């Protein structure tokens, strides 16, 4: 019997603990992914990658906000063919599940990139249908249940690894888009991507980001993300991975109680360092012991009891 109380199983992925690196932070190289695993993460998610290389937006691409960061990076990535070589290398050094975040401008592109990612060794793919500020992809797909379903169906037909769908909070009802994803075959959901936001410089009297609008992440969005996970747990039967402002073990436990089977951490890694995973896991372990739980699984969704 597995006597590690922190271990979790999500859609067939075995994790030594319920913390994952969120997409977008330290996700480009085998070495940075390895550093995150040494910092205690149970799995890693890469930066989103598409069919062709993209430069991303001009600077400034990130601005600090109260309780977080607003970014509009603009999906900078080297394209799947170049990135596949990095994944092949990463698989030799990263001793934990490696999840590739993929995006496309059509369902066929998503399927093409996901297929190449799995061929290169990805243990699962996370579909980015939720980037809030790049035209014709991201949340322009993820806000539309029909388009989400088409993307998920095509990816499921193309790969035999778990397909995780990362949802946008920038919708009226997150359960609606989630249901479309699950009906089309999604094996798990990540909730949430960043919240659409803006910052203005009072001296220049212009928006700060070159793209004007960006996505807010960090502790400022934690209550929004937590509510999304709670809603999803009530309405959708699948694995949920919580993401949005998780910094401390208490944040992580809140997400587990709301119904997440695991959590992703991104902005806290950027603002602190990769050892945040160790600290969060240590805290979860102590909490389980104090409350006499034998596993993380016993906590998942416990806040919903009647």
Q: Which residue is nearest to ligand RRO (CB)?
A: 215
41: which 2 tokens?
């993460």
When asked if residue 46 is in the footprint of ligand RRO (CB under 6 A), the reply is no
Closer to ligand RRO by CB, 73 or 180: give it: 73
Compute the 3-state secondary structure of the chain and give helix, strand, coil in percent, each to the nearest 5.
Answer: 40, 20, 40
Active site residue 131: yes
Under the binding rule (CB under 6 A), the answer on residue 73 touching ligand RRO is yes
Q: How many amino acids of this chain bind ligand RRO (CB under 6 A)?
A: 14
Is residue 264 involved in binding ligand RRO (CB under 6 A)?
A: no
Give, in order, the Cα–Cα distances in Å from 264 to each of 14, 23, 268.
15, 8, 10
How many CB atoms lie under 10 A from the CB of residue 256? Answer: 27
C-beta closer to ligand RRO: residue 24 or 245: 24
214 phi, psi to nearest 5 deg: -145, -165
Q: Under the criterion CB under 6 A, does residue 84 sit at the interface with ligand RRO?
A: no
Catalytic residue among 112, 131, 216, 260: 131
Rounded to whole angstroms, how far apart are CA atoms 189 and 184? 12
In the complex with ligand RRO, the residue whose CB is nearer, 49 or 256, is 49
Distance, in Å, from the CA atom of 187 to the CA atom of 258, rounded to the nearest integer, reads: 19
Q: Is 72 in the site for ligand RRO (CB under 6 A)?
A: yes
Q: Mind giving me the DSSP string for 36-98? A: HHHTT-SEEEPPPB-SS-B--PPSP-EEEETTEEEE-----B--HHHHHHHHHHHHHH--S-E
The whole-angstrom distance between residue 139's C-alpha and the CA centroid of its chain comes to 14
Q: Site for ligand RRO (CB under 6 A): which residue of 48, 177, 190, 261?
A: 48
Site string for ligand RRO, 165-204 (x = CB under 6 A): ----------------------------xx----------
Report the site for ligand RRO in 104-133 (rule: CB under 6 A): 128, 130-132
**Element spanning 174, H or E:** helix 174-183
CB of 178 to ligand RRO, least distance (A): 17
Which residues of this chain interact with ligand RRO, rule CB under 6 A?
Answer: 24, 48, 71-75, 128, 130-132, 193-194, 215
């Amino acid at each position: 019997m597995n006597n590690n109380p922190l271990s979790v199983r999500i859609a067939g992925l075995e994790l030594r603990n319920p913390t994952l690196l969120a997409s977008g932070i330290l996700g480009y190289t085998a070495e940075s992914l390895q550093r995150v695993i040494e910092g205690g993460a149970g799995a890693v998610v890469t930066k989103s990658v598409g069919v062709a290389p993209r430069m991303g937006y001009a600077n400034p691409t990130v601005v600090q906000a109260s309780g977080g960061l607003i970014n509009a990076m603009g999906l900078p990535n080297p394209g799947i063919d170049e990135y596949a070589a990095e994944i092949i290398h990463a698989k030799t050094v990263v001793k934990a599940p490696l999840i590739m975040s993929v995006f496309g401008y059509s369902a066929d592109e998503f399927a093409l990139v996901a297929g190449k990612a799995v061929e290169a060794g990805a243990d699962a793919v996370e579909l980015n249908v939720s980037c809030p500020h790049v035209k014709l992809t991201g949340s322009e797909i993820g806000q539309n249940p029909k388009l989400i379903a088409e993307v998920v169906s095509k990816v499921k037909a193309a790969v035999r690894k778990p397909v995780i769908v990362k949802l946008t909070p920038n919708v009226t009802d997150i359960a609606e888009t989630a249901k479309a994803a699950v009906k089309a075959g999604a094996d798990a959901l990540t909730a949430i991507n960043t919240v659409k936001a803006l910052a203005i410089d009072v001296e220049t009297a212009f928006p700060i980001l070159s793209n004007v609008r960006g996505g807010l992440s960090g502790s400022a969005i934690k209550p929004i993300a937590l509510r999304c996970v709670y809603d999803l747990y009530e309405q959708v039967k699948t694995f949920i991975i919580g993401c949005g402002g998780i910094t401390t073990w208490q944040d992580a436990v809140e997400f587990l109680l709301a119904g997440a089977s695991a959590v992703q951490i991104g902005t806290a890694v950027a603002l602190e360092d990769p050892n945040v995973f160790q600290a969060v896991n240590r805290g979860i372990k102590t909490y389980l012991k104090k409350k006499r739980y034998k596993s993380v699984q016993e906590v998942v969704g416990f806040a919903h009891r009647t």
